[in-house]
Amino acid sequence: MGEICVIGVGYVGLVTGVCLADLGNRVVCLNRNKQKSDNLKKGILPIYEPGLEEIVRRNLAAGRLEFTTSYDEAMEEARFVFIAVGTPSGASGEADLAHVEAAVTEVARRIHQPVTIINKSTVPIGTGDWVADIVRENMPDASVPIWVVSNPEFLREGSAVYDFMNPDRIVLGSTSREAAERVAELYYPLRAEVIITDLRTAEMIKYASNAFLATKISFINEIANICEALGADVLEVARGMGTDHRIAPHFLGAGVGWGGSCFPKDVKALAHMAVTHGTNPSLLRAVMEINYDQRKRAVTKLRHILGGFRGKTVGILGLSFKPNTDDMRDAPSVEIIRLLQYEGAQVRAYDPVATENARRLLEDVTFCSDPYEVAEGADALILVTEWNEFKQLDMARIRDLMKQPVLIDGRNIYDPRRMRELGFVYRGMGRGYDETGQPR
Ligand SMILES: NC(=O)c1ccc[n+]([C@@H]2O[C@H](COP(=O)([O-])OP(=O)(O)OC[C@H]3O[C@@H](n4cnc5c(N)ncnc54)[C@H](O)[C@@H]3O)[C@@H](O)[C@H]2O)c1
């Protein structure tokens, strides 16, 4: 088995293990589910991530990549152990570290040679010290040296392989500079900037980064709402702002807001840490509140047009929290669909890859096999996820299939004028008024 062991085969663990194997390392990925492990050995992936399957198969064939459910096997030759298990939200918004604790305890019990434990999961500030304590308490021989390094992950689902291979920076935090440098060597082929800090600072860099990105989106959504009230177009505002190098164009897309496996739980966890340690995270609270309101706003726009949802059929285009992933964790679509159903709407929906995951979360939704089927007999459509395939639909056909052509563009992917020319009652997010004084 490999000298690199990765615990957890989700979006972060699988990508990390597979990409490290692709860089020439011998890697073993551990996960607790035998079916998942057996599938992975055949190159069948538990998640959808563009480009990943091919790299899995290539590295399986090269004999550099192995999958196991046995900690004994995984730890046999391990010198580097990456922890990449989930850290979901706990009851009060804190990060739940049960999976980290379980994984680290199992690892510690099998340490017989010097090991560097690298934490890739997003964990509260101070977790690195806690992990080191757990390891020392559970090691069979406490004289064997161990090191803990915090190595927060910044990859984006949907472009995870590219992001892993082309990172903006590698952050490594540790009480031991040598340990951090040993981990840096694993990343050497990527030629990325390496930032070495203490443990707590590295952990904080991850939370601060996610909170900032979420803030940027909530900021532009607040501006979008003001644009809408005052007649300005947020798309042009964002373009005008984003060309300023101090601001940058990314994360200035107004719409139904952020979701997913990271921003919601990480902003919540950071706010929770702040409160627990006696500071007042008023900005973070506003960022979360604005985000939640955006989901409701799309529904409110439609209610104004339809006059209510009882007896109405609403089609949803896109279910995953963003394009190019099947991840449904905290996806805006779920909230929007539940709000619509609560007010009596029948919902039809389509997503290119997330339907199976969505079925487990949503009841009484008719899942369709393409966007045109969603449109059939619908009183309105809401575009929730901006998959590329929605950008070039035959909108005249869509219009003809609908009972009435009402379109809420939750990601501003369509041209308002063209949609109106086609006969749609169209509303974007924050698009102000057109030259005739109509809301865009
Ligand atoms: N998904 C992202 O885009 C992303 C980006 C950066 C950081 N992160 C962080 O990385 C961590 C993992 O996220 P993810 O999206 O990959 O999660 P995930 O839910 O997709 O995967 C978690 C994996 O851990 C496994 N696991 C849980 N407990 C285990 C145990 N005791 N032993 C072995 N395996 C165990 C699960 O079976 C699963 O394979 C989280 O802390 C997350 O915040 C995620």
Q: Looking at residue 406, which CATH number applies to its domain?
A: 3.40.50.720
> Is residue 206 within 6 Å of ligand 1 at its C-beta?
no
Q: Is residue 203 part of a domain?
A: no
Pairwise CA distance, residues 220 & 274, whole Å: 24
Could you list the beta-strand ranges (E) of 114-273. Answer: 115-119, 146-150, 169-174, 193-197
Q: Whose alpha carbon is nearest atom 30 of ligand 1?
A: 103
119 lines ligand 1 (CB under 6 A): no
Kindly list the distances between the CA atom of residue 28 and the CA atoms of 19, 22, 190, 217, in Å, as whole numbers in the listed order. 12, 12, 21, 37
Residue after which a domain boundary falls, among 197, 213, 238: 197
CA angle 222-228-233, nearest 5°? 95
Single residue among 197, 219, 254 that ends a domain in this structure: 197
Please state the φ and ψ torsions of residue 431, each to the nearest 5 degrees: -90, 5
Q: Are 427 and 421 in contact (CB under 8 A)?
A: no
**Residue of the nearest CA to atom 28 in ligand 1?**
99
Q: Ligand 1 centre from 356 Cα, in Å? A: 19
Q: Token digits for 359?
A: 């079925």
What does the block give as tokens for 341?
Answer: 């159903």
Asked if residue 117 and residue 172 are part of one domain, the reply reads yes
Active-site residue flag, 29: no
User: Could you tell me if residue 36 is inside a domain?
Assistant: yes
* E-state strands within 179-328: 193-197, 313-317
The answer to whether residues 236 and 369 belong to one domain is yes
In a domain, 436, yes or no: no
Say whether both 178 and 268 belong to one domain.
no
For residue 101, the enclosing domain spans: 4-197
Instruction: Out of 142, 175, 197, pick the residue that ends a domain.
Output: 197
Which residue CA neighbors atom 11 of ligand 1 most closely? 121
160 and 92 within one domain:
yes
Any atom of ligand 1 within 6 Å of the Cβ of 262: yes
**Are 147 and 27 part of one and the same domain?**
yes
Single-letter code of the amino acid located at 200? R
Give yes or no: residues 75 and 117 share one domain.
yes
The residue to mutate among 261, 266, 357, having the most atoms of ligand 1 within 8 angstroms of its beta carbon, is 261
Ligand 1 pocket residue status of 49, Cβ below 6 Å: no
Among candidate residues 168, 189, 171, the one with its CA nearest the CA of residue 180 = 171
**Distance of alpha carbon 33 from alpha carbon 47, whole angstroms:** 14
In this structure, the answer to whether residues 18 and 125 fall within a common structural domain is: yes
Do 244 and 184 share a structural domain? no
Rg (CA), the chain: 24
**From CA 40, how far away is CA 115, in angstroms rounded?**
26
Tell how far the Cα of 101 is from the centroid of ligand 1, in angstroms: 13
If one counts the domains in the chain, the total is 2
d(CA 336, CA 329): 14
Query: Is there a single domain that holds both residue 181 and residue 246?
Result: no
The reply to whether 145 falls in a domain is yes
Buried-state track 360-382, b at ≥16 Cβ within 10 A, e below 16? ebbeebebbeebbbbbeebbbbb
Reading the chain (440 residues) residue by residue, the pLDDT tens digits are 779 999 999 999 999 999 999 999 999 999 999 999 999 999 999 999 999 999 999 999 999 999 999 999 999 999 999 999 999 999 999 999 999 999 999 999 999 999 999 999 999 999 999 999 999 999 999 999 999 999 999 999 999 999 999 999 999 999 999 999 999 999 999 999 999 999 999 999 999 999 999 999 999 999 999 999 999 999 999 999 999 999 999 999 999 999 999 999 999 999 999 999 999 999 999 999 999 999 999 999 999 999 999 999 999 999 999 999 999 999 999 999 999 999 999 999 999 999 999 999 999 999 999 999 999 999 999 999 999 999 999 999 999 999 999 999 999 999 999 999 999 999 999 998 877 777 77
Q: Phi and psi for 233 in degrees, rounded to 5?
A: -110, 115
Helix axes 282-306, 199-230, angle to 10 degrees: 40
Tell me, yes or no, whether 107 and 252 share the same domain.
no
Token code pair at residue 388:
């590329």
**Would you say 201 and 173 are in contact if contact means Cβ atoms under 8 Å apart?**
yes
Which parts of 139-176 fold into alpha helices (H)? 160-165
DSSP state for residue 324 in the 8-state scheme: T
| Closest-CA residue to 332 (of 219, 422, 218, 420) | 218
Residue 204 covered by a domain: no
* Domain identity same for 20 and 139: yes
Do 248 and 174 lie in a common domain?
no
* Pick from 388, 371, 355, 353: nearest CA to 317: 371
Residue 249 lies in a domain: yes
Residue 294, domain member (yes or no):
yes
Strands (E), 226-321: 313-317
391 within a domain of the structure (yes/no): yes
- Is the distance from the beta carbon of residue 357 to the nearest atom of ligand 1 less than 6 Å? no
Query: Structure pTM?
Result: 0.96
